[in-house]
Amino acid sequence: MIDETFHLTPLDVRRYEFGTAMRGYDRERVDQFREQVAEELERLARVNQDLDAKAKSFHEQLRAFRERDKAINEALISAQQLRGEIREQAEREGQLIIREARADADKLMEDSRAELRRMQDQLGALERSRRAYLAQIRVMLERQLTEINAAEQATSNDGERDGAGAAPSWMGSLVKE
């Protein structure tokens, strides 16, 4: 386990003085080793700083990604809710349109039936007028035919009485009309 209260810096390694003893370590080799350790500590400190910077960057990216993910999820939920609301609204509007169309169709059918009844009544009235007109013509033709027959008969009676030169009496009745 590493003791976190003990921090060794490259400067500490370079300044540390080893005591001398008889038959001690070779001073030149110790100084060389101290320099290598200091350089390695400096390199590790730079690597550590780079890793800390990368870790901060990654944490920032992760936070941004989480925020985007949250925003996307919220947008997705909103879109799903909106889709449901739009679907419900469309269904309501569709039902309303169907009801209105049925009401319009019923009114149109009722109007058509009323128009058909009116036309049938008109046709009946025209048929009655035609029959009455034909009856009037028949009566008039029968009357004229009767008058013609009467005039012919009167002519034949007058011709026997007066002779051939006088105007027939039926001519006077035709002039009156």
What is the mean pLDDT for each group of 10 consecutive residues in the chain (177 residues)? 60 75 76 84 90 95 95 95 95 96 96 96 96 95 93 81 55 53
Residue 142 confidence (pLDDT): 93
Residue 9 confidence (pLDDT): 76
How many residues in the chain? 177
The CA distance from 142 to 149, in Å, is 10
Q: Is the pTM of this model over 0.85?
A: no
User: Hey, where are the domains in the chain?
Assistant: 10-153
Distances (CA, A) of 57 to 47, 51, 61, 72: 15, 10, 6, 22
First to last CA, the chain: 147
Residue 12 confidence (pLDDT): 77
